[in-house]
Amino acid sequence: MDQDAAARIAARYARRAEPIELTPEELDFEHHPAATSVPGIPVWAWIRFPSSAERVKGEACTWNAKAVQVLWTDAGIRRATWVWASAVTRRTSGGRKTGLGERTGGAETETP
């Protein structure tokens, strides 16, 4: 990577603030308990920031009927961010789109 490209990337991250995560009230674990997968499920997720959104490569490690916690890397920093389930799609090697619940089969709590 040349110096100009590195400078553009550094400027992009400098302009951007921390990701916007769902609140405990939005997650509502009392009425929507969470399920966990180890290892995480490979996904693409839209992460929101105050002035933009970015589609990132990550892993879904925890979810409920409404939301997914995505593990992803941001400029070398490992992050965990809760996003709406509709902001997440499973990564596949064959190009076929599938729901997260298909990987877990008969799990009690599946993502939409």
Query: d(Cα 81, Cα 53) in Å, to the nearest integer?
Result: 13
Query: d(Cα 9, Cα 2) in Å, to the nearest integer?
Result: 11
Adjacent-strand bridge partners of 63: 35, 68
Average pLDDT, the chain: 82
| Model confidence pLDDT, tens digit, residues 24-50 | 999 999 999 999 988 999 999 999 998
Look at residue 64 in the predicted model and tell me its pLDDT. Answer: 96
Extract the tokens encoding 104. 């877990």
| C-alpha dist (Å) from residue 3 to 7, 49, 62 | 6, 26, 38
- With contact defined as beta carbons under 8 Å apart, do 36 and 9 qualify? no
How many Cβ atoms sit within 10 Å of the Cβ of residue 66?
Answer: 18
| 1-10, 23-32, 70-79, range with greatest mean pLDDT | 23-32
Q: Check whether 69 has a pLDDT greater than 80.
A: yes
Any idea where the domains of the chain sit in the sequence?
18-104
Look at residue 92 in the predicted model and tell me its pLDDT. Answer: 87
Look at residue 15 in the predicted model and tell me its pLDDT. Answer: 58
